[in-house]
Copies of this chain bind each other. A is one copy, B any other.
Amino acid sequence: MSGRSLDHTIHAFEFIEELDRLASPQAIIDAMERSFAQYGFENFIMPGLPHPEQQIESLVLLKKWPLGWYERYTRNSYDRHDPVIRLCRRTVQPFEWGEAHSDPETIPKGREIMHGAADFGMRQGYCLPIHGLNGFEACLSMSGPDLDLTPQTKPAIHLMSMYAFERARLVLAPSARPNPLTAREREALRWAALGKSAADTGEILGVTERTITAHIGSACAKLSAANKTHAVARALQHRLIEI
Protein backbone atom coordinates (compact mmCIF):
# COMPACT_ATOMS: atom_id res chain seq x y z
CA MET A 1 0.00 0.00 0.00
CA SER A 2 1.35 3.43 -0.91
CA GLY A 3 2.22 6.11 1.58
CA ARG A 4 -0.62 8.24 0.34
CA SER A 5 -3.11 5.45 0.94
CA LEU A 6 -1.67 4.84 4.34
CA ASP A 7 -2.19 8.44 5.32
CA HIS A 8 -5.87 8.43 4.73
CA THR A 9 -6.50 5.07 6.34
CA ILE A 10 -4.87 6.39 9.48
CA HIS A 11 -6.82 9.61 9.36
CA ALA A 12 -10.10 7.79 8.86
CA PHE A 13 -9.75 5.73 12.01
CA GLU A 14 -8.39 8.63 14.02
CA PHE A 15 -11.39 10.68 12.96
CA ILE A 16 -13.74 7.93 14.17
CA GLU A 17 -12.00 7.79 17.53
CA GLU A 18 -12.21 11.56 17.81
CA LEU A 19 -15.95 11.58 17.09
CA ASP A 20 -16.78 9.87 20.36
CA ARG A 21 -15.46 12.89 22.22
CA LEU A 22 -17.53 15.46 20.32
CA ALA A 23 -20.64 16.64 22.07
CA SER A 24 -22.10 19.36 19.83
CA PRO A 25 -23.11 19.67 16.20
CA GLN A 26 -20.61 22.47 15.71
CA ALA A 27 -17.79 20.33 17.09
CA ILE A 28 -18.71 17.59 14.62
CA ILE A 29 -18.77 20.06 11.74
CA ASP A 30 -15.39 21.44 12.76
CA ALA A 31 -13.88 17.98 12.98
CA MET A 32 -15.31 17.06 9.60
CA GLU A 33 -13.91 20.22 8.08
CA ARG A 34 -10.44 19.31 9.33
CA SER A 35 -10.53 15.63 8.49
CA PHE A 36 -12.28 15.79 5.14
CA ALA A 37 -10.00 18.57 3.91
CA GLN A 38 -7.41 15.98 2.84
CA TYR A 39 -9.88 14.79 0.21
CA GLY A 40 -10.69 18.30 -0.96
CA PHE A 41 -14.05 18.75 0.76
CA GLU A 42 -15.04 22.16 2.05
CA ASN A 43 -18.83 22.08 2.37
CA PHE A 44 -21.05 19.59 4.16
CA ILE A 45 -24.75 19.14 4.69
CA MET A 46 -26.60 16.37 6.44
CA PRO A 47 -30.32 16.63 5.72
CA GLY A 48 -33.02 14.12 6.44
CA LEU A 49 -34.88 13.22 3.27
CA PRO A 50 -38.30 14.86 3.54
CA HIS A 51 -41.54 12.98 3.16
CA PRO A 52 -43.98 14.62 0.77
CA GLU A 53 -45.58 16.63 3.56
CA GLN A 54 -42.34 17.80 5.16
CA GLN A 55 -40.05 20.75 4.62
CA ILE A 56 -36.39 19.94 4.18
CA GLU A 57 -35.28 22.84 6.38
CA SER A 58 -36.67 21.14 9.45
CA LEU A 59 -34.53 18.08 8.85
CA VAL A 60 -31.06 19.48 8.42
CA LEU A 61 -28.90 17.95 11.11
CA LEU A 62 -25.63 19.67 10.27
CA LYS A 63 -24.45 22.09 7.69
CA LYS A 64 -21.55 24.13 6.47
CA TRP A 65 -23.01 25.15 3.16
CA PRO A 66 -22.98 28.28 1.01
CA LEU A 67 -25.72 30.42 2.53
CA GLY A 68 -26.97 31.94 -0.71
CA TRP A 69 -27.36 28.54 -2.28
CA TYR A 70 -29.05 27.10 0.80
CA GLU A 71 -31.60 29.92 0.80
CA ARG A 72 -32.30 29.56 -2.90
CA TYR A 73 -32.54 25.79 -2.51
CA THR A 74 -35.07 25.86 0.31
CA ARG A 75 -37.05 28.78 -1.13
CA ASN A 76 -37.61 26.84 -4.35
CA SER A 77 -38.10 23.43 -2.71
CA TYR A 78 -35.33 22.07 -4.91
CA ASP A 79 -35.27 18.91 -2.79
CA ARG A 80 -38.36 17.72 -4.67
CA HIS A 81 -36.37 17.48 -7.90
CA ASP A 82 -32.75 17.30 -6.83
CA PRO A 83 -31.17 14.34 -8.67
CA VAL A 84 -28.87 13.72 -5.72
CA ILE A 85 -31.79 13.44 -3.29
CA ARG A 86 -33.67 11.24 -5.71
CA LEU A 87 -30.74 8.88 -6.14
CA CYS A 88 -30.38 8.75 -2.35
CA ARG A 89 -33.77 7.09 -2.17
CA ARG A 90 -32.84 4.48 -4.73
CA THR A 91 -29.39 3.38 -3.66
CA VAL A 92 -27.49 2.52 -0.51
CA GLN A 93 -24.00 3.04 -1.88
CA PRO A 94 -22.21 6.39 -1.84
CA PHE A 95 -22.00 8.10 -5.20
CA GLU A 96 -20.51 11.14 -6.89
CA TRP A 97 -22.94 13.90 -7.78
CA GLY A 98 -22.11 13.34 -11.42
CA GLU A 99 -23.58 9.84 -11.22
CA ALA A 100 -27.00 11.20 -10.28
CA HIS A 101 -27.83 12.69 -13.65
CA SER A 102 -29.56 9.88 -15.48
CA ASP A 103 -32.96 10.32 -13.89
CA PRO A 104 -35.44 11.03 -16.67
CA GLU A 105 -38.01 12.51 -14.32
CA THR A 106 -35.73 15.27 -13.11
CA ILE A 107 -34.55 16.62 -16.43
CA PRO A 108 -34.51 19.56 -17.03
CA LYS A 109 -35.35 20.61 -13.47
CA GLY A 110 -32.45 18.50 -12.24
CA ARG A 111 -30.03 20.24 -14.59
CA GLU A 112 -31.15 23.61 -13.32
CA ILE A 113 -30.39 22.54 -9.77
CA MET A 114 -26.98 21.06 -10.54
CA HIS A 115 -26.05 24.21 -12.47
CA GLY A 116 -27.24 26.33 -9.59
CA ALA A 117 -24.94 24.48 -7.21
CA ALA A 118 -22.09 24.97 -9.66
CA ASP A 119 -22.76 28.74 -9.59
CA PHE A 120 -21.86 28.60 -5.91
CA GLY A 121 -18.60 26.79 -6.55
CA MET A 122 -19.97 23.31 -6.02
CA ARG A 123 -19.28 21.49 -9.25
CA GLN A 124 -18.25 18.18 -7.75
CA GLY A 125 -19.59 16.39 -4.75
CA TYR A 126 -19.95 13.08 -3.04
CA CYS A 127 -23.03 11.81 -1.29
CA LEU A 128 -23.67 8.99 1.16
CA PRO A 129 -27.29 7.88 1.41
CA ILE A 130 -28.36 6.77 4.86
CA HIS A 131 -31.23 4.36 5.17
CA GLY A 132 -32.10 3.96 8.79
CA LEU A 133 -35.01 2.67 10.78
CA ASN A 134 -38.16 4.45 11.96
CA GLY A 135 -38.65 5.73 8.45
CA PHE A 136 -35.67 7.95 8.95
CA GLU A 137 -33.70 8.45 5.81
CA ALA A 138 -30.94 10.94 5.47
CA CYS A 139 -27.81 11.65 3.54
CA LEU A 140 -24.47 13.29 3.95
CA SER A 141 -23.56 15.40 0.96
CA MET A 142 -20.15 16.95 0.57
CA SER A 143 -18.53 19.24 -1.92
CA GLY A 144 -15.26 20.93 -2.75
CA PRO A 145 -13.50 22.52 -5.71
CA ASP A 146 -10.94 19.76 -6.26
CA LEU A 147 -11.84 16.35 -4.88
CA ASP A 148 -9.62 13.33 -4.38
CA LEU A 149 -12.05 10.55 -5.17
CA THR A 150 -10.42 7.24 -6.04
CA PRO A 151 -11.19 3.58 -5.35
CA GLN A 152 -8.73 3.94 -2.48
CA THR A 153 -10.12 7.08 -0.87
CA LYS A 154 -13.82 6.41 -1.32
CA PRO A 155 -14.09 3.66 1.30
CA ALA A 156 -12.32 5.88 3.81
CA ILE A 157 -14.71 8.74 3.10
CA HIS A 158 -17.60 6.32 3.29
CA LEU A 159 -16.58 5.06 6.70
CA MET A 160 -15.88 8.51 8.11
CA SER A 161 -19.21 9.78 6.86
CA MET A 162 -21.18 6.92 8.36
CA TYR A 163 -19.70 7.42 11.78
CA ALA A 164 -20.07 11.20 11.56
CA PHE A 165 -23.73 10.71 10.79
CA GLU A 166 -24.26 8.31 13.67
CA ARG A 167 -22.55 10.72 16.01
CA ALA A 168 -24.64 13.64 14.79
CA ARG A 169 -27.81 11.64 15.22
CA LEU A 170 -26.79 10.67 18.74
CA VAL A 171 -25.90 14.23 19.70
CA LEU A 172 -29.03 15.74 18.18
CA ALA A 173 -31.67 13.15 18.97
CA PRO A 174 -30.62 11.24 22.04
CA SER A 175 -34.07 9.85 22.71
CA ALA A 176 -36.03 7.84 20.19
CA ARG A 177 -39.71 8.57 20.30
CA PRO A 178 -41.74 5.57 21.43
CA ASN A 179 -44.11 3.68 19.18
CA PRO A 180 -47.46 5.50 19.48
CA LEU A 181 -49.50 2.42 18.61
CA THR A 182 -50.75 -0.10 21.10
CA ALA A 183 -49.94 -3.79 20.73
CA ARG A 184 -53.44 -4.53 19.47
CA GLU A 185 -53.35 -1.70 16.96
CA ARG A 186 -50.05 -3.01 15.63
CA GLU A 187 -51.46 -6.52 15.33
CA ALA A 188 -54.51 -5.29 13.52
CA LEU A 189 -52.43 -3.21 11.10
CA ARG A 190 -49.99 -6.04 10.57
CA TRP A 191 -52.71 -8.47 9.53
CA ALA A 192 -54.25 -5.79 7.36
CA ALA A 193 -50.89 -5.34 5.65
CA LEU A 194 -50.91 -9.08 4.97
CA GLY A 195 -54.23 -8.77 3.19
CA LYS A 196 -56.63 -9.85 5.91
CA SER A 197 -60.06 -8.27 6.30
CA ALA A 198 -61.31 -7.13 9.67
CA ALA A 199 -63.38 -10.29 9.92
CA ASP A 200 -60.34 -12.47 9.11
CA THR A 201 -58.20 -10.73 11.68
CA GLY A 202 -60.92 -10.99 14.29
CA GLU A 203 -61.02 -14.73 13.78
CA ILE A 204 -57.21 -14.94 13.96
CA LEU A 205 -57.03 -12.95 17.18
CA GLY A 206 -60.15 -14.43 18.71
CA VAL A 207 -62.16 -11.22 18.92
CA THR A 208 -65.05 -9.83 16.94
CA GLU A 209 -64.81 -8.04 13.65
CA ARG A 210 -66.08 -4.91 15.40
CA THR A 211 -63.09 -4.90 17.74
CA ILE A 212 -60.63 -5.04 14.87
CA THR A 213 -62.48 -2.20 13.17
CA ALA A 214 -62.11 -0.20 16.36
CA HIS A 215 -58.36 -0.87 16.56
CA ILE A 216 -57.86 0.08 12.94
CA GLY A 217 -59.91 3.21 13.52
CA SER A 218 -57.85 4.35 16.49
CA ALA A 219 -54.65 3.58 14.60
CA CYS A 220 -55.92 5.76 11.74
CA ALA A 221 -56.57 8.59 14.21
CA LYS A 222 -53.10 8.33 15.74
CA LEU A 223 -51.41 8.21 12.34
CA SER A 224 -53.62 10.91 10.82
CA ALA A 225 -54.56 8.41 8.15
CA ALA A 226 -57.64 8.65 5.97
CA ASN A 227 -58.23 4.91 5.85
CA LYS A 228 -56.74 1.50 6.55
CA THR A 229 -54.50 1.45 3.48
CA HIS A 230 -53.10 4.87 4.37
CA ALA A 231 -52.51 3.77 7.95
CA VAL A 232 -50.65 0.64 6.86
CA ALA A 233 -48.48 2.68 4.49
CA ARG A 234 -47.59 5.18 7.20
CA ALA A 235 -46.93 2.47 9.75
CA LEU A 236 -44.60 0.68 7.34
CA GLN A 237 -42.92 3.93 6.37
CA HIS A 238 -42.21 4.75 10.00
CA ARG A 239 -41.37 1.15 10.83
CA LEU A 240 -44.12 0.97 13.42
CA ILE A 241 -45.02 -2.51 12.20
CA GLU A 242 -42.96 -5.31 10.70
CA ILE A 243 -44.26 -7.64 8.07
Question: What's the nearest-Cβ distance from chain B to residue A13, in Å?
Answer: 5
Q: Digitize A149-166: 1 where CB-to-B-CB distance is under 8 Å, 0 elsewhere.
A: 001100110110011001
For the complex, would chain A's binding face be called helix, strand, loop or mixed by DSSP majority?
A: helix
At the interface, yes or no: A173 with Cβ under 8 Å from chain B? no
- Which residues of B have CB within 8 Å of A193? 229-230, 233
Whether A90 pairs with B237 at a CB distance below 8 angstroms is: no
- Which residues of B have CB within 8 Å of A51? 243
At the interface, yes or no: A112 with Cβ under 8 Å from chain B? no
- New A-B pairs, 4, CB < 8 Å, besides A16-B155, A51-B243, A193-B229: A9-B10, A13-B152, A13-B156, A195-B233
At the interface, yes or no: A93 with Cβ under 8 Å from chain B? yes
- Which residues of B have CB within 8 Å of A230? 193-195
Taken together, the copies of this chain in the complex come to 2
Of A91, A225, A232, chain B has the most CB atoms within 10 Å of the CB of: A232
Question: What's the nearest-Cβ distance from chain B to residue A235, in Å?
Answer: 9
- Which residues of B have CB within 8 Å of A151? 17, 20
A-B contact pairs, 6 of them (CB 8 A): A17-B151, A52-B194, A195-B230, A196-B226, A233-B233, A233-B236
Question: What's the nearest-Cβ distance from chain B to residue A8, in Å?
Answer: 8
Whether B92 pairs with A132 at a CB distance below 8 angstroms is: yes
